[in-house]
Structure 1
Amino acid sequence: MSPADFVADLFNPDLAFLGKALLIAVMSATVCGVVGCYVVLRGMAFIGDAVAHAVFPGLAVAFVVSGNLVLGGTVAGVVTAVLVAVFAQNRRLKEDSVIGVFFVAAFALGIVVISRAPGYAGSLQQFLFGSITGIPDEDVYVVGGTGLVILLAILLLHKEFVAVSLDRESARAMGLRVFWLDLALYVLVTLAVVISVRTIGNVLVLALLVTPAAAARLLTDRLAVMMVLAPAIGGLGALVGLYISWSWDFPVGGTIVLVLTGAFLAAWLAAPRHGLLARHVL
């Protein structure tokens, strides 16, 4: 399929779901690209994956009772994050051990809950691997509105997030409430995950958080530039991935992830200062 044919399909009234899927995919990837910069800077990839698992029971409950998926996923993610923060106060257990216990338990709870819903197999596949079909109009507004809230919160807390990311002890000495800033970032990561699940799925959503930001990290030493490059890479990857998926009938979530992985590998190889070629030339 040529790009012109793809554009024609986007404006085809009989394929309205395709345009909505593109909007949601690009918006989700853009927001995840911004949030992912903090995830990469702080080495939080495991936490990002854990949050993706933690929102699942909330999504499952919301789906079963026909409630709001964003609200359900957010509540589940925040509750699990608070539990981790509380139990991690015990110095005999490292934080990653507590995270491993609670977030996997949350994911298992989600599977049990959704198994009670009619059409269990199809519903589970939709949550785990994403789906571009049957996206209601309200999902576009929910993703757009939630994305704006996330970006506004980041704009307001950017300096504090950077201070905590660079040096937690210095941030505490400056009087910053590190615990509450951590919790705020967990909430933003949770929201970013929830709005991305419908298109790319719960299993693959970590790629939207980490891969574009990791590629941007290789391309620049400046945080401001990184926070522009990461959402640009994510949004473009979502567009290209959806085009390839639609053209060759590939799974949309997996295709987007592979496109983003290709962008990361290209940055790893050809980044001006930190790429493999540059290091060998210098």
Structure 2
Amino acid sequence: MSLTEILVDPLRYEFMVRALATTVTAAVVCAVLSCWLVLIGWSLMGDAVSHAVLPGVVLAYIVGAPFAVGAIIFGFLAVALIGVVRETSRIKEDAAIGIVFTTLFAFGLVLVSVTPSQTDLNHIVFGNLLGVSTAELVQIVILAAITLTALILKRRDFTLYAFDRTHAHAIGLNPRLLGIALLGLLALTAVVALQAVGVVLVVAMLIIPGATASLLTDRFGRMLLIAPAVSVAAAVTGLYLSYHLDTASGAMVVVVQGVTFTAAYLFAPRQGVIGRRIAAARRRAAAV
């Protein structure tokens, strides 16, 4: 099979075209947000919100509402509960996050197990990238557009919040409000990625691109370009591999992202484990 056939053959099927559009959309919005999540240190918060939306999605299915509505409600609920536990007890934030997201996720699994359905609700947990409908794709694109627009318009405020909240407050910004807004965008992004890779793997798309970009550059502005570029490349590659190897599409996308991070971890010029040693060896050779 020629390279042209490898690239063109999957595009003959409408479900693959929709899957490609879905995974690229999710890859871009997740990657852009992941830059702030990695910078702030909210990796565990991303995990919490992405898992906590599960019961909201199932309840939305039960009442016949759009999945996004239930997911967003429970995303905000999870954030609120974490804040309440943290501020009204001696429980620290990491413990509060673990308690809330595992409880809500388990509640969602219980709902999945007892809810009669003509569709397989386990797709919510593990993803159903190849089964995305046109209506779901439109919903994903709209939510992604809203999230990306907000991130782009408020990027300077969010960046200042991430680097120095005290300075942000001093110049008239409200750090608490910025944090709430960023968490709200996290909930929206989780909904976008949910239908692509499922609840279990959403956190990977929310963290790996930003972490990879942070190893490739020291400038945040460049991170915002590198992260989505790397994420989209990994997403498209993973989808094509899943088609030709007949493997789970969402999982393969995340595997390729993990491989990309590993390559950056080892070979990044300044931050890579092997890259640093090569650069040091060159400096020693030049000195001699």
Runs of 5+ consecutive residues of structure 2 not aligned to the other structure: 281-288
Q: Which of 80, 89, 92 is equivalent to 2:90? A: 92
Q: Which of 177, 181, 201 is equivalent to 2:178? A: 181
1:194 matched to which residue of 2? 191
Q: Structure 2: which amino acid aligns with 1:40?
A: V
1:40 matched to which residue of 2? 38
Normalization by structure 2: what TM-score?
Answer: 0.91
C-alpha separation between the residues in 2 aligned to 1:86 and 1:120? 37
Contact 1:114–1:120 (CA<8 Å) still a contact in 2? no
Equivalenced residues, count: 279
Runs of 5+ consecutive residues of structure 1 not aligned to the other structure: none
Residue correspondence of structure 1 range 145-184 to structure 2 within 5 A: 145-184=142-181
Contact 1:82–1:183 (CA<8 Å) still a contact in 2? no
Report the Cα offset of residue 239 of structure 1: 0.3
Report the Cα offset of residue 117 of structure 1: 2.2
Q: Percent identity?
A: 35
1:184 and 1:246, CA in 2 relative to 1: closer, same or farther beyond 3 A? same
Q: Structure 1: which amino acid aligns with 2:92?
A: K
Report the Cα offset of residue 69 of structure 1: 1.1
Deviation readout 1:67-113 (Å, 9 max, x if unpaired): 21112101110122122223322362212222122121111221222
1:9 matched to which residue of 2? 9
Please, which moves more after superposition, 168-177 or 17-26? Answer: 168-177
1:5 and 1:132, CA in 2 relative to 1: closer, same or farther beyond 3 A? farther
Contact 2:29–2:147 (CA<8 Å) still a contact in 1? yes
Q: Structure 2: which amino acid aligns with 1:79?
A: L
Report the Cα offset of residue 121 of structure 1: 9.2
Report the Cα offset of residue 272 of structure 1: 1.9
C-alpha separation between the residues in 2 aligned to 1:84 and 1:53? 13
Matched, 1:24 2:22: yes
Report the Cα offset of residue 63 of structure 1: 2.1
SS at match of 1:274: coil
Residue correspondence of structure 1 range 63-102 to structure 2 within 5 A: 63-90=61-88, 92-102=90-100
C-alpha separation between the residues in 1 aligned to 2:134 and 2:67? 14
1:3 and 1:40, CA in 2 relative to 1: closer, same or farther beyond 3 A? farther
Contact 1:56–1:107 (CA<8 Å) still a contact in 2? yes
What is the RMSD of the two structures over their aligned residues, measured on CA atoms?
Answer: 1.8
C-alpha separation between the residues in 2 aligned to 1:240 and 1:255? 9
Normalization by structure 1: what TM-score?
Answer: 0.93
Larger Rg: 2
